Structure 1
Amino acid sequence: MKKHNAPFTIVADESYEHFERNSVAKSFGRFLIGALRSPLTFMQATLRGYFPLTLSIGKLSIIPVDVLIDEQGKVVRAHYCKDTVDHIPIDELIAFSKGQ
């Protein structure tokens, strides 16, 4: 893992308000699959100090959603991840941020 100087804003739903309001899937099994699919990433994040603020299985088991929102506030793409390591590719995020 390394730091990226992303040319776009990243927003986290720390209160889980939007996750709950939009019925985002929860699956502890998928959380574990993500950790097993990418154990090196999981280990690197842990060694760099990432540690969930809660050890609540209910919150750890929330499967991520990547949402691209344009400058007018319109949702252009919502990617409901299969597990914790399935995300929109960084190249696609950068292209979106450049209006491509």
Structure 2
Amino acid sequence: MKAAGRQVTVTADKLNGDMKRRPSYPGELRAKHVNMSTKIWVKVAMAIAYFLCVSVAAFILVIYYVFFWTPGQQFSNSTTSTEAPNPSVG
């Protein structure tokens, strides 16, 4: 049914599919396409955020191991004992 006062004309461009026009979708399908494109950008943003977090953590570890860590230092539970370990006890 046509709305009153509205004229619909069909031209050859509309029949053949004008490439300049965007496809028209019903409301639900259009919302689905909008949500899908939004979900893609959210996934890309989350992947970039994850990569940056992992990279920053790795960079902090590199700084720690290059400037602060000494390879021969070990920590024990008894820090008050100053005795040398007895090699004969085993």
- Where on the TM-score scale, by shorter chain, does this alignment land: which range? under 0.3
Question: Which structure dedicates a bigger proportion of its chain to helix?
Answer: 2
The two structures have a TM-score, normalised by structure 2, of 0.21
**TM-score, length-scaled by structure 1:** 0.20
Q: Higher strand share goes to which structure? A: 1
